[in-house]
Chains A and B, each alone.
Chain A
Amino acid sequence: MDAAALTLLALSLPFLGALVAPLLTRLLGHNAAWLLALFPAAIVLHFLRFWPEVARGEIVTGGYEWIPSFNVSFSWLIDGLSLTFVLLIAGIGALIVLYSGGYLKGHPQQGRFFSFILMFMGSMLGLVASDSFLMLFVFWELTSITSFLLIGFDHSREAARRAALQALVVTGGGGLFLLAGLLIIWNVTGVTQLSLLSSFGAEMRESPFYLAALLLVLGGAFTKSAQFPFHFWLPNAMEAPTPVSAYLHSATMVKAGVYLLMRLNPVLGGTTEWQMLLPLFGGTTLVIGAVLACRQTDLKLMLAYTTMASLGLLVMLTGLGFPHAIEAAALYLVAHSLFKGALFMVAGIIDHETGTRDVTRLGGLRSAMPLTFVIALAAALSMGGLPPFFGFLAKEEIYYALAGPDRRAMVFAALAILGNALMFAVAFAVALKPFVGARVETPRPAHEAPLLLWLGPALLAAKGLSAALLSDLTHELVSTPMATAIAGAPRQVTISVIPHVGVPLALSLATALLGIVFYLNLSRLRSFVATILADIGWGPDRGFDQFMRGLVRFSVALTRRLQSGRLDVYMTTTFVVVAAVLWGAPLYYGELPNAPFFAGDVPLHELAIMAIAVIGLLAVVLAADRLTAIVSLGIQGFAVAVIFLLYGAPDLAFTQFMIETLSVVVLALVMTRLRLSPSDHRPLGQKIPDLAVALACGLGFGLMLLKVTGIPFDASLTEFFNLYSKTIAHGANVVNVIIVDFRGTDTLGEIAVVMITGLAILSLVRLRAGSMRRIADNDPDAEDRA
């Protein structure tokens, strides 16, 4: 198996895992997690092989052709950025699978849950590994869909259904913006591969479509990464089971938007618009998210809002354009995935073991859950940015980037200090408060979590420590290649865990001090924020409800208007459009046929036949009783058959004779049952407009035919058949040769249609009376009641 095939296999492994997950869970119960975690583990192992090349700054690409005519390929791009993401997704994914094994132990749908989680993992891996735009977009939307399934996992609750739909509408809608943006980039640069795109940066930035492309891409990235004002779906997504929150809504999926911005930074970045929009939205999201986090008492919601704040910080750093800002973003992204994933899992453990997630109803769990306490503390120290954890490195690098002298840097430094201090307070409110102080009675008696539950967060917290202690190795393998890939130019990360005296350290200390002040006054802060929010009284979350309700009402109104449910309205609309098309085009282009010339080249007997046909037609319209109508219908049909016979089409004539005979027979048979009068009961006021529409269509078709016969005839097809039906197909009757040989496949389809109508009529005739009325009620519950 060559390297490309192996990578393809690695990328499809999660989907294979999703296939077998329900079966394995049925066989092994929650212990299936151990086996299923091997899938992401194998992916980690496979991608580790790229590490030496990527650490050297090389870019590995590979793939297969998909739609060559559109220049679309199924190809992947492994560089510092995507490799870090792949390892985070697969690595944390393996831990999450284990954690879900413990968290949803005994849940009747645990197998389905594993399946969803693995499908999401596959989509996310595909997203960050894709090289081609189309693949990126497909996987982008796949993550939205799998996220919808996971948020709505507990589908019996309305809140979960609402949150799932909300996430799908917001992120899926954002995906459409992204698609439009990518199409513009494709049009401007002419390439569909991300790996080729970086050399077109200047071309893209100078294009008149730059701003449109930028805004559309930002629309995709901001919705996915929950930037204000599209942030509201993220806290609602906490309706999902905790493993989902830890995995999708902190460590991976919400980072997809940030990933996209980082990936496109060499192409779209560096402009005034970029450096204005990203820090503006990112900074706003950072502060709003951090402030809103203080108001919550639910552990998961507190973490969700700080995730939103962290995403804001990442977007801000990506867009700033300061030296070291990119490096800081790279470091913070990795640190955040590690500590936030761990903290979410800790919150899940507390919920699982005590029965509540409300921080005001928790306390003194230290003695009952010592191991969880240690894990939580380690993660919180990293989140608070204290040494010797990885979060400290990230925070130092952030302040290193923001400690510039100009006013712009100072504004963002102030924003960062405020946001970080609030997050510091929330981190310890989550990780310290429930464990210290007096013991509070919880719905369930607290005890230490089982192995499957604590293993994941413990490993993540340990990773946060070891990555910081071995900072040189971490930088060489992860931070430097990643920063280089984001910047599109060589970068070097050197920061270490040993504090250097300087402005960044001073800012860090200020953050910590401010954080402690916030932590001590958290309840006062909470009520203050709650008062302000109550005064505002409206948020995008409520706006979403209003939007959805308006959408439903609008569609109902539109549908009622367009689909009146009356056949004659549909028919009239159809034929008015037909008439408009028939008349509109020739009138617009001045292509009306010349005045018809009724030449005398038609002998009298042919005119007589035509006259008979017309008499038959008029008799059908005016018939007052059934027999007249049937006979008149037969007359016009036979007249047509005679016309066919006169104009060299004996085959048609015979067929028409036979068919008309049969038509008259079956019509007579059914008419005797129907006992309906074929005469017209409509008032004159209806007849006249109908006649006008019919006349317009009829005249239109006549004019079209006149025009068509007026232009020279291209007989090449007919000549082909005339020439070859004897020599190739061994038949002298050209019509029959066309039917059964030249166009045989067509005829095969047609006799299949005849056969199907036969079957349909047979079943209609056999339907017993009354059975249709039951179908008509269309009430699925009726069957259950019966």
Chain B
Amino acid sequence: MKSLIFRAVAPFLTSLMVLFSIFVLLRGHNEPGGGFIGGLIAVSALAIYGIACGVETVRRAIYFHPMAIAGAGLFAATIAGLISMAARVPFMTGLWIYPSLLGVEVPLSTVTLFDCGVYLVVVGAISSIALSLEERGGE
């Protein structure tokens, strides 16, 4: 894509979208949103960045290989399930703790960890697909 405006705007747009995707991920438990949607928003962000500035730039920007991100996500999701087993409740039972950070009560749970895992798998796997196709398509 040769448009100068697009190339100039793309990094900002991408970062905003990634931020928004994390917001969607975290609010997903109580409002529309969640790991799948958040992940897809992030993938779109990366795809736009890739079209604007080239796949190589994106690969450098995300630092890790996309499939590594997906693997980490799947790992996190599995761990979230296994923690329950360690606590002697059936696999995948949600566990919640409410630690107080700087006077604010923050609800943390294995479910949140699991949703983050979903997010990472979607981001990793689908951006890997999109990026590898963009790479070949541009040849």
Contacts and interface: CB of A to CB of B under 8 A. Distances in A.
Q: Indicate yes or no for A touching B, C-beta below 8 A.
A: yes
Interface of A: 650-651, 654-655, 658-659, 661-662, 665-666, 669-670, 672-673, 729-733, 735-737, 739-741, 744-745, 747-748, 751-752, 754-755, 757-759, 761-762, 765-766
A754 B41 CA distance: 16
19 contacts: A654-B32, A659-B40, A662-B44, A665-B47, A669-B133, A670-B133, A673-B137, A731-B111, A733-B29, A739-B118, A740-B114, A745-B81, A748-B77, A751-B117, A751-B122, A758-B67, A758-B70, A762-B67, A765-B133
Given A748-B77, A761-B132, A755 B111 contact: no
Nearest to A728: B94
B31 A732 contact: yes
B126 A654 contact: no
B90 to A, nearest CB: 10
Interface string B108-139: 01010011011001101110111011111100
Interface string B33-57: 1111100110110010001000000
A668 to B, nearest CB: 8
B107 interface: yes
B30 interface: yes
B30 A731 contact: yes
Given A669-B134, A729-B94, A762-B67, 17 more contacts: A650-B32, A655-B37, A662-B130, A730-B111, A731-B30, A732-B30, A733-B32, A740-B29, A740-B115, A748-B77, A748-B81, A751-B118, A752-B74, A754-B70, A755-B121, A758-B66, A765-B133
A670 B126 CA distance: 15
Interface string B82-103: 0000000001101010000000
Nearest to B118: A751
B11 interface: no
Interface residues of B, number: 50
A672 B81 contact: no
A733 to B, nearest CB: 6
Contacts of A654: 32-33, 37, 40
Contacts of A735: 32, 34
Given A744-B111, A745-B91, A748-B81, A655 B36 contact: yes
A740 B67 contact: no
Contact of B36 (A665, A739, A748, A755): A739
A672 B128 CA distance: 19
B128 A740 contact: no
A661 B111 contact: no
A630 to B, nearest CB: 13
Nearest to B116: A740
A741 B80 CA distance: 11
A445 B74 CA distance: 72
B41 A666 contact: no
A762 B132 contact: yes
Contacts of B137: 669-670, 672-673
Contacts of A672: 137
A649 to B, nearest CB: 9
A758 B125 contact: yes
Given A658-B37, A662-B47, A740-B114, A733 B30 contact: yes
Contacts of A755: 67, 70-71, 73-74, 121, 124-125
Contacts of B70: 754-755, 758
Given A733-B28, A744-B111, A661 B33 contact: no
A754 B34 contact: no
The 7 closest A-B pairs by CB, nearest first: A758-B125, A658-B40, A669-B137, A732-B30, A731-B29, A650-B32, A751-B121
A317 B134 CA distance: 82
A758 B132 CA distance: 10
Contacts of B51: 665
A758 B126 CA distance: 7
B74 A736 contact: no
A732 to B, nearest CB: 4
Given A744-B92, A761-B132, A662 B33 contact: no
Contacts of A744: 81, 92, 94, 111, 114
B126 A754 contact: yes
Contacts of B41: 658
A730 B93 CA distance: 13
Contacts of A732: 29-31
Nearest to A766: B132
Nearest to A756: B125
A740 B34 contact: yes
A467 B36 CA distance: 80
A665 B130 contact: yes
A444 to B, nearest CB: 66
A757 B125 contact: yes
Contacts of B109: 730
A666 B30 contact: no
A737 B36 contact: no
B66 to A, nearest CB: 8
B107 A666 contact: no
Given A655-B36, A662-B44, A758 B129 contact: yes
A694 to B, nearest CB: 29
B122 A754 contact: yes
A765 B74 contact: no
Nearest to B134: A669
Nearest to A654: B37
Given A650-B32, A736-B28, A737-B29, A745 B117 contact: no
A644 to B, nearest CB: 11
Give the interface centre of B29, B73, B114 by most chain A CB atoms within 10 Å.
B29
B6 to A, nearest CB: 15
A629 to B, nearest CB: 17
A729 B110 CA distance: 11
Contacts of B28: 733, 736
Nearest to A745: B92
A762 B128 contact: yes
A757 B121 CA distance: 11
Contacts of A737: 29
Contacts of A741: 92, 94, 111, 114
A488 B87 CA distance: 58
A673 B66 CA distance: 23
A758 B32 CA distance: 26
Nearest to A732: B30
Contact of A748 (B31, B78, B125, B135): B78
Given A659-B40, A755-B121, A730 B29 contact: yes
B132 A739 contact: no
A736 B26 CA distance: 11
Contacts of A751: 73-74, 77, 117-118, 121-122
A761 B118 contact: no
B40 A655 contact: yes
A767 to B, nearest CB: 11
Contacts of B125: 754-755, 757-759
A390 to B, nearest CB: 64
Nearest to A736: B34
Contacts of A730: 29, 94, 96, 107, 109, 111
